[in-house]
Amino acid sequence: MAEALDPAIPGAVDTLANFVLREACDRNLKLAAAESCTGGLLASLLTDMPGRSHAFERGFVTYTNEAKQEMLGVSAQILETDGAVSEACARAMAEGALAHSRADVAVAITGFAEGGPGQPAGLVHFACARTNRPTLHRELRYGDVGRAAVRVQALETALGLLRDQLVGSATAAA
């Protein structure tokens, strides 16, 4: 049985998405998303904003290692050595999304929405790449809070990284 997003997207996440799209539009920049554990939710959110969704250039839903390799150019070595849920993979996904699109800024999300052997529930890696700037990375551990909660929190973190790349936040860490 599929788990629906309940509650719906929180108002703060919706507001942040609108801000990111407005900044991208104001700066004439295009956005892309490379998603694994969020399964395209970020792309869906960014294309659901009237009047600003044109800033979103494309999304990549790369749930499997093969998809990460084929669509984003993530190396087999990264996937074998570091794993699909790692800083190296998140960075390669974000940089691959830039390389395989016409976007100026790309964010990547890869993590474990649920736990399993060697897979800590709620561990998510994020990266955000922008042309001619360092790629940002975040690792968050949301805990065993359920698939929907991890995915919604991941949306907020990814949008925050996009915001940081767009406005050049002083708090952004490479």
Per-residue pLDDT of the chain (174 residues; tens, 9 = 90+): 344 455 578 989 999 999 999 999 999 999 999 999 999 999 999 998 889 989 999 999 999 999 999 999 999 999 999 999 999 999 999 999 999 999 999 999 999 999 889 899 999 999 999 999 999 999 999 999 999 999 999 999 999 999 999 998 544 444
Give the helix ranges, DSSP H, for 27-139: 41-46, 65-72, 76-81, 87-99
| Strands 56-61 and 123-130, bridge-based pairing | unpaired
CA 86 to chain centre: 13
125 three-class SS: strand
Give the separation between CA 17 and CA 43, rounded to whole angstroms: 11
Amino acid at 160: G
Helix axes 87-99, 65-72, angle to 10 degrees: 40
Closest by CA position to 155, among listed 20, 2, 4: 20
Residue identified by tokens 């991941």 is 154
Tokens of 146: 């359920």
pTM value?
A: 0.92
Report the CATH fold assignment for 11-167: Maf protein (3.90.950)
Measured CA distances, 109 to 27, 52, 74, 170 (Å): 24, 22, 13, 22
* pLDDT, position 130: 97
Sorted by where each begins, the domain ranges of the chain are 11-167
